[in-house]
Structure 1
Amino acid sequence: MSSSLYRLGLLMASLRWKVVGAWVALLVIIGGLAVGLGGTFSTEIEIPGTEGQEGIDVLANRFPEMGGTSGTLVLLAEDGTTVDDHQAEIDALMEDIAGVDGVAVAPSPFDELSPGTRTEDDTAIIAQFQMDGQTGTFPETSVEEIRQLVADAETPTLDTNLGGQVLQSAEIPFGAGEIIGVVVALIILAIVFRSLVPAFIPIITAIMGVGVSMLALVALSAGVSIPSVTTALGAMLGLAVGIDYALFILSRHRDQLARGEDVAESIGRALATSGSAVIFAGMTVVIALVGLFITGIPFLTVMGVAAAATVALSVVVALTMLPAIMGIMGERLRPRGIRRLMAQNGGVLPAEDPDAPSHGRVGRAWVRLVTRVPALTILVVILGVGTLAIPIKDLQLALPDQGTEPPGSSERVTYDLIAERFGPGYNGPLLVTADIINTTDPLGVVDELESDILALDNVREIQIATPNRGADLAVVVVIPEGGPTDQSTKDLVAELRGSAEAWEEDLSISDVTVTGATAVGIDVTDKLGAALLPFAIFVVGLSLLLLTMVFRSIWVPLKASVGYLFSVAAAFGVTSMVFEYGWFNGPLFVEINGPVVSFMPIMVMGVLFGLAMDYEVFLVSRMREEFVHTGDAKGAIEKGFVANAPVVTAAALIMVSVFAGFVTSGWFMLQPIAVALAVGVLVDAFVVRMTFVPAVLALLGKNAWWMPRWLGKILPPVDVEGEGLGAVLEHRRWTEEHGEHALRVQDVEVPLRGGHGRLGPLTGQVEPGRMLVVRSADDAARNTFLALVAGRLTPAAGILAVHDRLAPDDLGAIQARSPWIPAGTDVAARLAEIDVRSARRGLIVIESLADLTHAARTVDDTLVERIDALLEAGATLVVGSRADDPVEAERDLHRTLRDPRRLLALSVHRAAEPDPSGPSHRADDTAPEGALA
């Protein structure tokens, strides 16, 4: 991967203005689509298949007057009057509301059939109206028209207040806090780079990624139901990871420029090294977010996929637009002092003064402190995180209701008035529905059901109990004693559902359900709670697998997963402190205490997993690199920490500033998630990765990097530090010295295909425009060599290059560029299909020499001329011969080719097996295996 990223970086830098222009054009096009399609986001949070949702669907079909979005009016009589004194005004208001487009029914609260709830002193009354369908199915202007009617009806003696589900809005309250978060990130970047100009680049690329993804969501919302919180979550994540990913690549580029490297070369190398880590980091976040599908909750899956797409787009921007901008900025990104030094020395950076003070003194002092007595450090971290996690026991979850709206808003004022004047249960009525089609006395059955429900604990009153117009469905509106999120209300829902079976048997009714917004919210919370453990197992298991592949170790992934759980525990504990205990409410602009949004834990776990793995990879991969080179376990910890800790520190502070900016939005749906992520990142970066991790590694010593040999063979290698770049640069230097070659093998060994043993070591090269006949009566040896050069096998050792592509990093590209013509195939037809231009970049592999010569003699007498044309154009052919020596078919080719010197031959044999009775040795493979040219 690193070799492909290296070339990508060079390409993006060379096409810099075109790449930036393409991104701007994409932003404009998607923006046009978003405006033209006019999509809207959904405020409904539902889970198909739950009892509450099924009840809502039944009401929509069989009792539409009660199935739509509801609105609530609280009417207060002032100055010693009663609501009866204002009956005419209130009736007129309800008639006006009933005439609004999209309103299904708006009965007078003085109607004898459906009277409104009033206080004992007759100074306040509740009136209800019902919209036609759910939010989004009626005109948006209808709500504003109703607002205006309610406001106009207010008089000095009649106070009118509007609330209810009808006021739920899909608008996202972005404000100054988010901007401040980005400004803080800019300041941190300016400190890191010691310059303002490069500090703007990550901000620009992050905003580009977020802009494109958010506009795409707006366009998609015209045809797909997307929860409104998705945009805020996507924007928060997109900004945070977008800035961080750009920081990782740009900081590497600046470091290389500070060492005097060429601008274009540095861009390629930065992408090949830090770009590899960025791809892995982004992949972990994407996998964790997409993994939300295992919850089986549609709205959460949509949120996860949308957020994952935003993160993926941030990675693409970092790999394309960022190197293009770095190319545009050119020498201006090189530190000013380095530019002066190079200008004074003819464009070359002088050798570094060995007596100059070393960098990273603070980092070196810290890592030495935490590793001095590693067991003590580990104990302190465990106690500290454990203390932060204690409040988790009081963390309650629920879906937000209008009691979580900002104080002073119309919906919050109405909600508080209802709770104060009528009781909290009126803000969360429960609807009990029952199929009564089999009864002969619908009204009597409804009365009996009402009496039974009224006798239950935690029931304040029955507001309505009535059959529908067809007398086949009964609806009982139950007012609980407690509010929508109180435990007593949850207990009442459970008791109602537990009594359903007895009622069905005693009253000859069926399909009793408990529904309504409150019941649906309880169902959603329960379903999310049940999904938490499976998702946690998925995330932790995934982290173990990914990190085992990256670090080739058992203990490092285990330690990383434990550290991730520490971060999650601290995040949840602090969130409980803020939203349950009310601590730090003022500084954090938190105005509501109580249950936090139900999907906070599972969403935070998914996002924090990806971010935690980012920091683990960026910090520990450098330690592993040092250990592999030196074998000094303790020294590797210090060197790796000093090298990468500053960048991880800056990245974490940027993340925290962005998340903290979203905390100040005041939007209760997002605030707990933002607080948890900010705390989680802070703890993960500074407590876990920079304190706990070095201490554990120091305690384990060399054992930290141990992995069973059998497991190492099973797991595929993952290059996140750009280790493959060294091979690319070495091959480029080799090509400059020896010229371009179509095939280069150096000390290559490969297991035999379809047999025991191995092939090699092989060393040699083939120039473009040659035909290589591979001779061997050993089918396994011959087929192995053909598959190797065609990219179908991975070499176990050595260097394999096909033109500028190297295995194993570019194995896919080698395979794509190397057409394979198997034995028994019409060689003439297959060669006729091959494009000469593409053939120049790879090899054409023909499995059977006999098939080739047979086609030339009997099928197509121009075949040799076509082969000559391919060779003349620079294509390279590799042909298999089932003989150890030259055969007549090979001699025919030699005679008929326009330039016989283009024909080469190679005999391949499997390597000799070691003699078990004596010292290990190798067969003499230097000739003829070693001479490819």
Structure 2
Amino acid sequence: MAELLYRLGRFSARRSWTVVVGWVVALAMAVGAFLAFGGTLTSSMSIPGTETERVNEQLTDELDGLGGATGTVVFQTEDGSAFTDAQESAIGDLLDGIAGLDGVEDVVDPFAAASDRADQEQQLADGAAQLDDAEAQIEAGTAQLDAAEQQLDAGQAQLDAAVAQAQADGTFAFAAGQFEAQQAELDQGRAQLDAQRAELEAGAAELPAQRAQLEDGQRLVDAASEIRTVSEDGSVATGAVMFEDDLFTLSDELKAEVAAELDGAGIDGVQVDYSTEIAASIDGLIGVGEVVGVVLALLVLVIMFRTLLPAVLPIVSSLVGVGVGVAGSMALSGVVDMSSVTPVLGVMLGLAVGIDYALFIINRHRRQLLAGMDLRESIALANGTSGNAVVFAGSTVLVALLALNVTGIPFLGVMGTVGAVCVLVAVLIAVTLTPALLGLIGIRVLNRRARAQVGHDAHARPELKPMKTGRALLRAALAIVALLIVAIPALSMRLGLPDGSSEAADSTQYRAYTAVADAFGAGQNGPLLVTVALPSSVADDDVVGVQADLAERLLEEDGVVAVAPVGVSDDRDFLAFQVVPVDGPSSESTEQLVHDLRALSPLDAGEAGVGVGEAAAVDGDLELGVAGQASGNIDISAKLAGVLPVYLALVVGLSLIILVLVFRSILVPLIATAGFVLSLFAAFGAVVAIFQWGWLGALFDVHDPGPVLNFAPIIIMGVLFGLAMDYQLFLVSGMREAWVHGVPARTAVVAGMRNGRAVVTAAAIIMVSVFGGFVFSHLTMVRPLGFGLAIGVLFDAFIVRMLLIPAVMHLLGESAWWLPKWLDRILPNVDVEGAALERTHPVHGAEPGGSADATGAPADAGDDARTAELEPEPTR
């Protein structure tokens, strides 16, 4: 590999313009492919097989229109007064217009909804009054019937007495016709009374059922009493836009179209804001913070190189690499589901590693020029040595990112793959475009003062002395204790997805969230959807009663403010309810409520109050399901938390294998991996302290602390692993190189540190600068990623690799390089630094077979048998 890279570097230096034009063409093709084939990015994350996704599919099947995403639109009067009729009419017209957009299922006009609710309550009140009137009328009618019946009884008694008198005095025959007529009249009157009484009794029999229906309706109204669309003072109103697609498939184009309608509303005296379901956008992958990070990286390079031209080269090459990698990846977004964070991660990684990898090669080239090497030979050798290390270092990052695919989480696998593509392009750029650019600028890679000292002995390094053992013990103890203390908050980490409260304070999402929370309660920012599958269909007349019983049962759960029915299936065996929690969707109480509601299933109908008595409407177990924003966040977070240990074990295992292969040691990989774990958990602790606990919130613009971004830990773990192995490679390989050439183990530690300390320090500062720029990104989900990576690199580079590892390596001494003989025989010889190539193309001032780069002085390969490990095998 080193020889191949040497030749590639020489070709690139000789054919500089060919290579440069080739990459420009590649960039143009990537951008063109993105413009031609790029599809929609989503701001939501979905994991197949979760409970929320199952319930959403069930909602779509049973209740068409309920499975789609719902965005909230908040209207506020600018002066705090109640809405005028004209303003209400304008809001209604605005929402009606949005309802006509393709992809919008329906809208909710807050004033129409409030009016409908008032009408419903009035109808219930009127119905109760009518029932009371009917009962009074029935009582009055019954009294009248009783009086009429008494009159009939008296008439019948008189007639019977008259008939008896006539029969006694023998006149009955003469008055028989008259008696029969009077009896017929009495019988007819009694029949009429019986019919009227039967009618009254039938009406009275219907009254209890009607009363029960009214009471059931009133119970539903009472259960939903806290759900309002217009505030009590009439100054805030919330509408809703219901989409056909769910949150995970909703297109940014449709959201942008809805947002444009709302932004252009122009209703006098009314401020219009909307929730993250509508406002989420990926416009602009790079903001001001990211640009500042790149500028800081350029400043570090200028300070290191002490001239502008070579400092610009890593920036230019990394920007080209980012353009090719990100645009090329986004060109596939039309056929691959890709989250909005995915290209941002590609930009973040492409910039950071692109600058660093170019830096390693340019720094090696500058040192060789100062030692007096020919320009093109120096470019080729730098590409074959440091470029070889760059390829290996990039490979570790690639492995870590591609390993995200084994988690079984689609969006995470896509993120890892796109990140890996961007890192791969950064490596290719480093070993091709960087040598080409170095060939173009020639000797100007050095400033004038450095050019005057080319080949002088001023660059020789002082004599090396190992550190003191007591100092090594102190450094190791301080590093370990400090990292463990910082890692303490990680023990209380909560995972979730950001809601409107996490957005920038001047954003429409944040204004909408706070307005709803202040006027209606935080829970209305993220209501839950609870479904109930009945064991059998219920009668049409029993539906309202069953809904009321279930609503009251759900209200009994802690943390529930209101419950409202939102749908019944055609077969009347599937019901859906909107459940409003006390707190917002990312709160601990809402998370607990979701768990509690799911724990109710299966729910006995009798326990729910809907299966009691011989004429029970429902008999059997009820299956409950929970969906909604909070539910989805919980499911995704739980899935990610479950794969986190598996991924950590995979990364640690890969780390051990790679490091054993590179350093041919058992203990060095173990302490390197332990150091990585320490820096990782310290990074987690810092992320929890800032974003979950709110420490230093004003500094990092964390105004409403919440759970940690649920996929941040696994992304930080993968990326930090790759970068930690990079720094381990560039520092400890120098120690091994010196030890192999006969330098005592403890002195070799100092040699390796002197050889790589400056460039690793600059590289780490650049990494921190680039990642740190994303801490203030306009995308909420990017901020914890940027901070976690920046602080992780800071801990790993400056505390673990430069303090802890050298101290432990000193304490271990010669035993650090112990390797069982059987393992030594089967391990291949991995010449990461290209030492064999360096011996065939020696730097001026170094003996063939020696290394001026590792120890600062040439070493003869024959001085120590350990040198044989670096000799290439003869060609067969």
Q: Is the 8 A contact 1:116 1:127 kept in 2?
A: no
Q: Is the 8 A contact 1:591 1:666 kept in 2?
A: no
What amino acid does structure 1 have at the position aligned with 2:726? D
SS in 2 for 1:393: helix
CA distance 1:441–1:359, change in 2 (3 Å): farther
- Offset at residue 64 of structure 1 (A): 3.3
Q: 2:436 & 2:259 partners in 1: Cα distance?
A: 52
CA distance 1:87–1:796, change in 2 (3 Å): closer
Alignment-derived partner of residue 580 in structure 2: 479
Please say which of residues 420-429 and 99-108 is displaced more in the overlay. 99-108
CA distance 1:137–1:119, change in 2 (3 Å): closer
Alignment-derived partner of residue 7 in structure 1: 7
SS in 2 for 1:630: coil
CA distance 1:125–1:555, change in 2 (3 Å): same
Q: How does 1:227-626 map to 2 (within 5 A)?
A: 227-334=339-446, 336-337=448-449, 339-340=451-452, 349=455, 352-353=456-457, 356=458, 359=461, 368=467, 372-436=470-534, 438-441=536-539, 443=543, 444-469=545-570, 471-503=572-604, 507=618, 508=620, 512-626=624-738
Q: Is the 8 A contact 2:361 2:382 kept in 1?
A: yes
Q: Is the 8 A contact 1:213 1:309 kept in 2?
A: yes
Q: 1:150 & 1:727 partners in 2: Cα distance?
A: 67
Please say which of residues 297-306 and 34-43 is displaced more in the overlay. 34-43
- Offset at residue 706 of structure 1 (A): 0.3
Q: 1:79 & 1:249 partners in 2: Cα distance?
A: 63
- Offset at residue 604 of structure 1 (A): 0.5
- Offset at residue 337 of structure 1 (A): 4.3
Please say which of residues 435-444 and 161-170 is displaced more in the overlay. 435-444
Q: Is the 8 A contact 1:254 1:335 kept in 2?
A: no
CA distance 1:484–1:341, change in 2 (3 Å): closer
SS in 2 for 1:291: helix
SS in 2 for 1:106: strand
Q: 2:805 & 2:255 partners in 1: Cα distance?
A: 57
Task: Specify every segment of 5 or more residues in structure 2 that has no aligned partner in the other structure, as ranges.
Answer: 121-226, 612-617, 843-868
Q: Deviations over 1:672-695 (max 9, x none)?
A: 111111111111111111111111
Which of 259, 262, 267 matches 1:154?
Answer: 267
2:129 is equivalent to residue 30 of structure 1: no
2:179 is equivalent to residue 67 of structure 1: no
What amino acid does structure 2 have at the position aligned with 1:550? V
Q: Is the 8 A contact 1:437 1:473 kept in 2?
A: no
Alignment-derived partner of residue 174 in structure 2: none
- Offset at residue 707 of structure 1 (A): 0.8
- Offset at residue 436 of structure 1 (A): 4.3
SS in 1 for 2:875: strand
- Offset at residue 192 of structure 1 (A): 1.6
Please say which of residues 235-244 and 471-480 is displaced more in the overlay. 471-480
Q: Is the 8 A contact 1:437 1:471 kept in 2?
A: no
Give the TM-score of the pair, scaled to structure 1. Answer: 0.73
What amino acid does structure 1 have at the position aligned with 2:793? V
Q: Is the 8 A contact 2:276 2:499 kept in 1?
A: no
What amino acid does structure 2 have at the position aligned with 1:383? V
Q: 1:338 & 1:650 partners in 2: Cα distance?
A: 19
What amino acid does structure 2 have at the position aligned with 1:481? V
- Offset at residue 45 of structure 1 (A): 0.7
- Offset at residue 288 of structure 1 (A): 0.8
Q: Is the 8 A contact 1:381 1:687 kept in 2?
A: yes
What amino acid does structure 2 have at the position aligned with 1:424? A
Q: Is the 8 A contact 1:76 1:83 kept in 2?
A: no
What amino acid does structure 2 have at the position aligned with 1:191? I
Q: Deviations over 1:757-781 (max 9, x none)?
A: xxxxxxxxxxxxxxxxxxxxxxxxx
Alignment-derived partner of residue 874 in structure 2: 800
What amino acid does structure 2 have at the position aligned with 1:430? L
Q: Is the 8 A contact 1:70 1:129 kept in 2?
A: yes
Alignment-derived partner of residue 54 in structure 2: 54
CA distance 1:37–1:472, change in 2 (3 Å): farther
Q: How does 1:120-199 map to 2 (within 5 A)?
A: 120-134=232-246, 140=253, 143-145=256-258, 147-149=260-262, 152=265, 154-156=267-269, 160-163=272-275, 165-172=277-284, 174-199=286-311
Q: Is the 8 A contact 1:563 1:684 kept in 2?
A: yes
- Offset at residue 26 of structure 1 (A): 0.8
- Offset at residue 388 of structure 1 (A): 1.5
Structure with more relative contact order (C-alpha pairs < 8 Å, separation 6 or more): 2
SS in 2 for 1:646: helix
Q: Deviations over 1:559-611 (max 9, x none)?
A: 10111112112212222222234333344344442222111111111111111
Please say which of residues 159-168 and 228-237 is displaced more in the overlay. 159-168
Q: Is the 8 A contact 1:76 1:125 kept in 2?
A: yes
Alignment-derived partner of residue 641 in structure 1: 753
Alignment-derived partner of residue 158 in structure 2: none
What amino acid does structure 2 have at the position aligned with 1:154? I
Give the TM-score of the pair, scaled to structure 2. Answer: 0.78
Q: Deviations over 1:129-184 (max 9, x none)?
A: 3122146656826644555357636343x554433512222334622221121111
CA distance 1:799–1:677, change in 2 (3 Å): closer
Q: 1:358 & 1:797 partners in 2: Cα distance?
A: 26
Q: How does 1:914-933 map to 2 (within 5 A)?
A: none
2:88 is equivalent to residue 98 of structure 1: no
Task: Specify every segment of 5 or more residues in structure 1 that has no aligned partner in the other structure, as ranges.
Answer: 343-348, 731-794, 803-933
Alignment-derived partner of residue 20 in structure 2: 20
Q: Deviations over 1:420-445 (max 9, x none)?
A: 11111111111112344831336244
Q: Is the 8 A contact 2:275 2:513 kept in 1?
A: yes
SS in 1 for 2:36: helix
- Offset at residue 671 of structure 1 (A): 1.1
Please say which of residues 78-87 and 159-168 is displaced more in the overlay. 78-87
What amino acid does structure 2 have at the position aligned with 1:409? S
Q: 1:545 & 1:679 partners in 2: Cα distance?
A: 26
- Offset at residue 548 of structure 1 (A): 0.7
What amino acid does structure 2 have at the position aligned with 1:647? V
Q: 1:32 & 1:667 partners in 2: Cα distance?
A: 25
- Offset at residue 498 of structure 1 (A): 1.0
Aligned length: 723
- Offset at residue 13 of structure 1 (A): 2.0
- Offset at residue 509 of structure 1 (A): 6.5
Q: Is the 8 A contact 1:76 1:159 kept in 2?
A: yes
- Offset at residue 446 of structure 1 (A): 3.4
- Offset at residue 284 of structure 1 (A): 0.8
Please provide the CA RMSD for this pair: 2.8
- Offset at residue 504 of structure 1 (A): 7.6
Q: Is the 8 A contact 1:662 1:671 kept in 2?
A: yes
Percent identity among equivalent residues? 40
Q: 2:446 & 2:90 partners in 1: Cα distance?
A: 74
Q: 2:415 & 2:568 partners in 1: Cα distance?
A: 38
